[in-house]
């Protein structure tokens, strides 16, 4: 594991993005035939990639802030965003559950999810962007606090 805070955050950001991609692929393979997975991905690839990259960026920023002494970054924002991203990905292909698991009696819910598939994915991307903006705001606040402390130490 890297020791440098920037490399550590990059490492964990890549791991988080890969985990989200793996989660998406697993859900897809569990809910639809393998031959349809690629076609479904091609239909909404830009939203799926935005969610995967956005989640990785958020986790990377969170790790960076945590390693820079930002004690009030408790992981709630990336956790909530990751949950929403995962839910959006499940909603993306959950309408295929009616084909795979008709015994559950979820056909009404799956029709709803199919109808609003892109809306759920757009919501997931939007929440990722808000999470990234929040993390960047915390980063800027941290830089201002650190520069004030450095100036104060130089005066003393």
Please tell me what DSSP assigns to residue 105: -
Is the pLDDT at 84 greater than 70? The verdict is: no
Read off the DSSP letter of residue 70: -
- 34-54 pLDDT, tens per residue? 888 888 888 889 998 998 999
What is the structure's pLDDT at 21?
Answer: 92
**What's the confidence (pLDDT) of residue 18?**
95
For helices 107-115 and 117-155, give the axis angle rounded to 10 degrees: 60
């Amino acid at each position: 594991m890297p020791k440098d805070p920037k490399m550590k955050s990059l490492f964990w950001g890549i791991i988080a993005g890969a985990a989200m991609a793996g989660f998406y692929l697993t859900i897809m393979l569990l809910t639809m035939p393998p031959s349809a997975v690629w076609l479904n991905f091609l239909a909404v690839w830009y939203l799926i990639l935005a969610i995967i990259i956005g989640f990785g960026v958020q986790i990377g920023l969170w790790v960076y802030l945590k390693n820079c002494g930002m004690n009030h970054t408790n992981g709630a924002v990336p956790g909530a965003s990751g949950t929403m991203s995962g839910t959006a990905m499940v909603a993306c292909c959950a309408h295929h559950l009616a084909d795979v698991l008709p015994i559950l009696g979820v056909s009404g819910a799956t029709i709803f999810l199919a109808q609003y598939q892109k809306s759920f994915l757009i919501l997931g991307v939007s929440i990722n962007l808000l999470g990234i903006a929040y993390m960047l705001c915390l980063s800027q606040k941290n830089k201002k606090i650190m520069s004030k402390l450095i100036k104060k130490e130089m005066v003393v």
